[in-house]
Amino acid sequence: GAVVSQHPSRVICKSGTSVKIECRSLDFQATTMFWYRQFPKQSLMLMATSNEGSKATYEQGVEKDKFLINHASLTLSTLTVTSAHPEDSSFYICSAWTENYGYTFGSGTRLTVV
């Protein structure tokens, strides 16, 4: 089946620095990638939708200059948290969508900003 590889699984960074999270689709091409954020005991909240080769569409309340999404190829999408602050600490999950495979989720990245 389809697999999305997400890295890193855990990252700790200092306040004010930037962190990049990668999601790679293995053995299939992901034209659409969704990025979610999940706080403890909360739902997965959609942050943005990205389509290969075009700008990401951000949900209301998500700062596009803070959460930079790049989907430059059909197998790689990245989320960069810029100037991270403790309130950005969360669990970030990507999900690829294709007609053939439906939704395929990455394993998630636990970000801790200290």
Question: Could you give the CA distance from residue 112 to residue 101 in angstroms, rounded to a whole number?
Answer: 32
Q: Tell me the sheet residues that pair with 103.
A: 97
Q: Is the peptide bond before 8 cis (omega within 30 degrees of 0)?
A: yes
Is residue 46 near other proteins by the rule CB under 8 A? yes
Which of these ranges, 12-20, 32-40, 67-75, 79-87, lies near other proteins under the rule CB under 8 A? 32-40
The verdict on 43 binding other proteins (CB under 8 A) reads yes
Q: Is 93 in the site for other proteins (CB under 8 A)?
A: yes
CB 67 within 8 A of CB 79: yes
34 binds other proteins (CB under 8 A): yes
Report the DSSP pairing between strands 3-7 and 19-26.
antiparallel
- Cβ(81)–Cβ(19) under 8 Å? yes
Can residue 28 be called a binding residue for other proteins (CB under 8 A)? no
75 phi, psi to nearest 5 deg: -120, 0
Give least dist CB 86 to other proteins, A: 19
The reply on whether position 106 binds other proteins by CB under 8 A is yes
Nearer to other proteins, 9 or 73 (CB): 9
Residues that bind other proteins (CB under 8 A): 6, 9, 32, 34, 36, 41-46, 49, 91, 93, 95, 97, 102-103, 105-108, 110
